[in-house]
Amino acid sequence: MNGSKSVKLLLLMAVIAMVNVVLVSPGLLGFHIGGDSAFETASVVTVWVVSALLLFYGSYALLFKSPAVKPIKTIQTREDYINSLHHYRHVKVLKNDIDLALDQLERIEKKRSALLSVLGERFEPTELSYKKFMAVIDEVEKLFYLNIRGILNKLGAFTASDFTNMSNPQKSARLSSKVAQKKTELYQEYLAYVAGYLDANEEIMLKLDKLLLEISLLGSSDYRDVEDMPCMKEIDALIKQTKLYKQ
């Protein structure tokens, strides 16, 4: 359960507890079962039943219910990507890939923070070198999220149950061997695309690690321009290659 869901669940529990305290506290409403009127008893029982139902449903919705799939074109924030990936996390055949994608989302944030910290120690934000580094970091981060979007686009061609059904030999056995083979090949092709996007993101983060090392060694290396740094050249080539491929 992520942080926002934890907060929502705690708020729900706090509201339910507060309502019940107000209802039965002697200094407030002071209602109790077997009180002066049937209305009091009915009110207490009703509130308790409603409270139990709200707590049960709220816990289920926050802890177990899969988040609604957001249209790919509307995904903007890191939280949007995380929520969209979580929709497929409980599909057995996708679990390892989705866990890796979520882990990559966490690591890319840490790498960006580390790079910004090192850059802040070595350069002023107004310096040209700082701006060049930031431009490259921003651009390669866009590639990273483009790959995550690619994963979601491929997974979005199927529902979570589709992946489960395609990996179920018993259900495939009901089809003719020719159709079953074609479905399996298509299924494997989609999974291969997902694996390819994950590999591409691992390469991106490896290059960011190299860039972090090269920035930390700037004092002992002599480059006329930051664009001459080996890793900067590698990242620039990766960016240009991706843009060419997308055209």
**pLDDT tens-digit series, residues 35-81:** 566 666 666 667 667 777 776 666 656 555 555 556 777 888 899 99
Closest by CA to 109, choosing from 231, 216, 208, 218, is 208
Q: Do 60 and 80 share a domain, yes or no? A: no
Which residues of the chain fall below pLDDT 70?
Answer: 1-7, 9, 12, 19-45, 47-48, 55-70, 160-161, 164-176, 219-225, 243-247
Max CA pair span of the chain: 89
Domain identity same for 134 and 25: no
Q: Which residue range(s) make up the domain with 58?
A: 3-64
Task: Return the axis-axis angle of helices 177-216 and 95-122, rounded to nearest 10°.
Answer: 20
What are the φ and ψ backbone dihedral angles of 175, each rounded to 5 degrees? -95, 165
For residues 26 and 131, state if they share a domain: no
Verify that 55 and 112 share a domain, yes or no: no
Tokens at 230, concatenated = 């080996």
Give pLDDT, residue 196: 94
The answer to whether residues 56 and 102 belong to one domain is no
Of 64, 87, 116, the last residue of a domain is: 64
Q: Does residue 76 share a domain with residue 60?
A: no
Q: Is residue 191 located within the same domain as residue 120?
A: yes
Pair 110, 205 in one domain: yes
The answer on 57 and 105 residing in a single domain is no
Distance CA 6, CA 212 (A): 34
Q: Are residues 120 and 199 in the same domain?
A: yes
Which of 64, 90, 115 lies at the terminal end of a domain, its last residue?
Answer: 64
Shared domain check, 41 and 157:
no
User: At which of 44, 64, 84 does a domain end?
Assistant: 64
Burial class (CB in 10 A: 0-12, 13-18, 19+), 240: exposed
Examine the domain organization and report whether 107 and 146 are in the same domain: yes
What secondary structure, in 3-state letters, does the chain show? CCHHHHHHHHHHHHHHHHHHHHHHCCCCCCCCCCCCCHHHHHHHHHHHHHHHHHHHHHHHHHHCCCCCCCCHHHCCCHHHHHHHHHCCCCCHHHHHHHHHHHHHHHHHHHHHHHHHHHHHHHCCCCCHHHHHHHHHHHHHHHHHHHHHHHHHHHHCCCCHHHHHHHCCHHHHCCCCHHHHHHHHHHHHHHHHHHHHHHHHHHHHHHHHHHHHHHHHCHHHCCCCCHHHCHHHHHHHHHHHHHHHHHC
pLDDT at 99: 95
pLDDT at site 206: 93
CB 82 within 8 A of CB 148: no
- Tell me how many domains the chain contains: 2
Token representation of residue 71: 């249209």
Tell me how long the chain is: 247
**pTM of the entire structure?**
0.67
